Amino acid sequence: MLLLPLFAVTQPTAAQVASTQPTTAQPAAAPLHPAAGETVAETDVERLGVDAYFAVEPVDEALRRRIVGRSYREGCPVPLADLRYLRVLHRDFEGRTRRGELLCHRDIADDLAAIFRALYLAGYPIAQIRLVDDFDADDVRSMEADNTSAFNYRPIAGSRTLSRHSLGRAIDINPLRNPCVRLRDGRMLVEPEAGRPYADRTRDFPGRLHGEDLCVRLFKARGFRWGGDWRSLKDYQHFEK
């Protein structure tokens, strides 16, 4: 707002994480707006280099038409010029390499690009990374699909207070497996409800975010706060800055 790995997850070497030099790939090899979820052949990644598939870009006209009236609605306090579109790679839970995309505030764009690059190099599993607009900006639908996403102009669930997602300064990772859990009147509320089987954090399963998890450590190292550390509720999927 959760666990035995299906394949080995290894931490990237210091050289891999530190490397930020782009390769000299041909521009046509990495389309500006590839379809999120597309599989990418390992041979192509090896031939072109990882950096050919990662980018931070301003919002162009095609993307503006895609998000206005959905995730970007009237009243949004963030100018479109302050948002950035990210192209990334990730591993799914079967170990396949897939394209992903994110929209976030420019202040955290480089942080997210570096984090997702490190996660990809480590083989860390993420179900899918698509703009919430693919779900008509419906946060519940996106969570139920276990979709990792960032910007969405909306209030915090159950309140009128704007979410940090409205500012493009928050991201939810594998939200079905890492639901938001809170107690109310002695009842355990789980968001999304479909994530209730993952609310028991004593269990271990692929994609479970916890204090020693690589994903949590990478986000905290760049100054993000993790919802799993909160006391009033546990928003295991959530990181904000």
Position 42 in a domain? yes
Which parts of the chain have pLDDT scores under 70? Answer: 1-34, 157-159
Q: Which residue in this structure is represented by tokens 């699909």?
A: 145
- The C-alpha atoms of residue 53 and residue 34 are separated, in whole angstroms, by 10
- The pLDDT value recorded for residue 33 is 53
Position 13 in a domain? no
Position 227 in a domain? yes
pTM listed for this prediction: 0.84
Position 17 in a domain? no
pLDDT tens digits, 94-105: 999 999 999 999
Position 18 in a domain? no
Position 10 in a domain? no
**What is the DSSP track for the chain?**
-----SS---PPPHHHHH--PPP---GGGS-SSPPTT-B--HHHHHHH-GGGG-EEEE--HHHHHHHBTTTB-TT-SS-GGGEEEEEEEEE-TTS-EEEEEEEEEHHHHHHHHHHHHHHHHHT-B-SEE--GGGGTT-HHHHHHTTEEB-----BPTTSSSBPGGGGT-EEE-STTTS-EEEEETTEEEEESGGGGGG--TTS--TT---TT-HHHHHHHHTT-EEGGG-SS-EETTEEE-
Q: Report the domain count for the chain.
A: 1
Position 16 in a domain? no
The phi, psi pair for 135, rounded to 5°, reads: -115, 25
pLDDT tens digits, 20-66: 344 444 434 444 456 889 999 999 999 999 999 999 999 999 999 99
Position 173 in a domain? yes
- The pLDDT value recorded for residue 156 is 73
The strand pairing partners of 148, in sequence order, are 129
Domain limits for position 126 = 31-240
